[in-house]
Amino acid sequence: MLQPFYIAHVPEAGCDEAGRGPLAGSVFAAAVILPFDSPLSADWNRLNDSKQLSEKERYALRPLIEKEALAWAVAEVTAEEIDRINILQAALLAMRRALEQLTPQPQHILVDGNRWKPYGFPAIPARTVVKGDAKYLSIAAASILAKTYRDDYMNRLSEQFPQYHWNENKGYPTPAHYQAIRQYGLTPYHRRSFRLYA
């Protein structure tokens, strides 16, 4: 059973990112604040780490999250920015951009993973949680939003560049993606700082 909060009764944002590993496209992140003064519907029992859910399950849960969360936001960092600052810093930046959009601002932050930089002034207390998307509802909710919004984005890019099959591989390093790079070259959305030729 996923836990609703680390610190109850304060606006607490769960953060997660999607798209660190692909060869192309932006990295996305989401931040979600769950209501701490009213119960969540029973449907929240279906939440889990987005990687443990099917595509159909993720998209079914997204409107639930958007409707019942106290606040939520999604942000991206482009491939060009990734190449300039590296993927780890880009993922952290995407989470900060998502947090900046939240109203109210959180009083505590839960971050999936083991790396974080102080956010806010004065810095908002934060806790990193390895595999947090399988432990806390707010991080699981953020993982679902980040994943589905990034998938939507890659599906749109695939309409412009169908030869790379991004609607299927979402920019990840599959044999077919490597073959398309060798055959057609790079697009403006490929991450030049990554190993693009197998």
Asked if 36 and 11 count as a contact pair (C-beta separation under 8 A), the reply is: yes
Asked if the model's pLDDT at residue 196 lies above 90, the reply is yes
61-97 residues labelled b (16+ CB within 10 A) or e (exposed): bbebbeebbbbbbbbbbbbebbeeeebeebbbbbbbb
pTM exceeding 0.85? yes
**Pairs from 101-107 (Cβ < 8 Å, separation ≥ 24):** 101/31, 101/73, 101/75, 102/13, 102/31, 102/33, 102/71, 102/72, 102/73, 103/71, 104/11, 104/33, 104/70, 104/71, 105/11, 106/10, 106/11, 106/12, 106/13, 106/31, 106/33, 107/10, 107/11, 107/12
Asked if the model's pLDDT at residue 6 lies above 90, the reply is no
pLDDT (0 to 100) of residue 52: 87
Mean pLDDT estimate for the chain: 94
Structural domains of the chain, with CATH: 12-184 (3.30.420.10)
Give pLDDT tens digits for 47-103.
877 888 999 999 999 999 999 999 999 999 999 999 999 999 999 999 999 999 999
Residues in the chain: 198
Give pLDDT tens digits for 152-182.
999 999 999 999 999 999 999 999 999 999 9
pLDDT (0 to 100) of residue 173: 97
Asked if the model's pLDDT at residue 5 lies above 90, the reply is no
Asked if the model's pLDDT at residue 8 lies above 80, the reply is no
Using a pLDDT cut of 90, give the percent of the chain over it.
83
9 pLDDT tier (thresholds 50, 70, 90): confident
Beta carbons within 10 angstroms of residue 150's beta carbon: 25
Paired tokens of 91:
């993922």
